[in-house]
């Protein structure tokens, strides 16, 4: 039985003065031909409360599937990649007090025809600090065969 391991490379930790949001994904083994929940941990590593955390699972490389949303609102003229997504793509996870964390889940489907290779996914995150300062960033995740 072939299996793949969902390994997270957290390529960026957001930090602004006294606020910081850390997004990570648990390491899981997925069986080919099955679905399993992908566990995403969000943690406020700063000393300031974070408001209106919104996350969109905007990309998952084919043939892997999930409840991704890729309705791009603005493309970067420099990279050609989406830098802003429609509001309908985002799920609001509310507030997160300083030092606290939350777990959120996405269903990940691995078709039986999935060939062995590395697969990428992308989470797009928006949140607000006191004074309504908006922070936007993205995190890449990687699926690797073992």
For the stretch 73-121, pLDDT in tens is 887 888 877 778 888 888 899 999 999 999 998 888 888 888 877 778 8
> With 90 as the cut, is the pLDDT of residue 39 above it?
no
Report pLDDT for 103.
93
Based on its alpha-carbon atoms, the radius of gyration of the chain, rounded to whole angstroms, reads 16
CA 50 to chain centre: 17
Report pLDDT for 19.
60
Q: Are the CB atoms for 41 and 103 separated by under 8 Å?
A: yes
> With 80 as the cut, is the pLDDT of residue 70 above it?
no
Give the closest residue to 100 by CA, choosing from 59, 60, 51: 51
Range of the domain at 107: 3-145
Name the least confident of 8-22, 28-42, 50-64.
Answer: 8-22
Quick one: pLDDT band at residue 10, thresholds 50, 70, 90?
very low
Name the least confident of 8-17, 117-126, 128-137.
Answer: 8-17
Name the least confident of 4-13, 39-48, 105-114.
Answer: 4-13
The CATH number of whichever domain residue 110 belongs to comes to 2.60.40.10
pTM: 0.72
The number of distinct structural domains making up the chain is 1
DSSP state string for 60-76: E-TT-EES----EEEE-
Mean pLDDT of the chain: 76
Q: Which of 5-9, 82-86, 125-129 has the highest mean pLDDT?
A: 125-129
């Amino acid at each position: 039985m072939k299996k793949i391991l969902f390994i997270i490379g957290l390529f960026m930790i957001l930090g602004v003065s006294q606020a910081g949001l850390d997004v990570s994904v648990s390491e899981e083994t997925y069986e080919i031909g099955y679905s399993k929940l992908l566990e995403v941990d969000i943690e406020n590593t700063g000393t300031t409360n974070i408001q209106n955390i919104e996350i969109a699972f905007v990309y998952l490389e084919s043939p892997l599937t999930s409840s991704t949303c890729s309705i791009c609102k603005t493309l970067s003229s420099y990279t050609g990649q989406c830098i802003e997504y429609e509001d309908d793509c985002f799920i609001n996870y509310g507030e997160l007090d300083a030092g606290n964390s939350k777990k959120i889940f996405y269903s990940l489907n691995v078709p039986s025809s999935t060939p062995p290779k590395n697969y990428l996914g992308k989470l797009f995150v928006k949140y607000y600090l006191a004074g309504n300062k908006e922070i936007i960033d993205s995190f890449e995740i990687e699926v690797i065969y073992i």
